[in-house]
Amino acid sequence: AFSFLACTSAQVDISAADWQADLRFLQKTVHDDYSFLFKKITKEDFDANVEELYQAIPTMQEHEIVTGFARIVASFEYGHTVLDLRRSSFKYHVMPWNLYHFNDGLYVEGIHKDYEGVLGAKVLKIDGIPVDEALAAIRPVVPAENDQFFKAYGTTYLGIPEVLHAQGVMKELKNEIAVTMEKEGK
């Protein structure tokens, strides 16, 4: 098992009421100007998801709120309709790796030089959770049109501790992730 540290920068504070107002603005804008997005999710399901997040916002941490917004946007299941967490003004921690989903599992295909010993390793667990369960937990946050799109781009979200925490993969928020890997039988 390896533990990786992720990088971040300063965050901005926004009140719960402001987040709720932003969510209502998003909801109204989608209904008024982007109703064509309702192909893979109904208006009613979208509104129910918005209402659930709206009610929860006062009890949520900032990363959970932003991840909630990402879930709302990803619910349209269009790959180019995205709240890009990596380029957000609310900076998330990001693992220094690239993962690739091969037929026999998820592997480290690129890594920061400080961790080069795990290059080519198969990822087995994320913070003690089997990788397939972790992938299923983050799936609602990934703006994926289909399974192949998710395999190509969704693995990035496995390296964001805030998403892992918001989606229940990590029990507590921390800026490092314990990753269990296998390489050359070890």
pLDDT for 10: 45
- For residue 6, pLDDT beyond 60: no
- pTM metric for this prediction: 0.87
Query: CA–CA separation, 53 vs 87, rounded Å?
Result: 22
Tell me what the pLDDT averaged over the chain comes to: 90
Q: Count H helices, E strands: the chain? A: 6, 6
List pLDDT tens digits, range 32-80: 999 999 999 999 999 999 999 999 999 999 999 999 999 999 999 987 8
Query: CA–CA separation, 57 vs 71, rounded Å?
Result: 14
Extended beta strands in the chain, E state: 2-5, 97-102, 105-111, 122-126, 129-130, 176-182
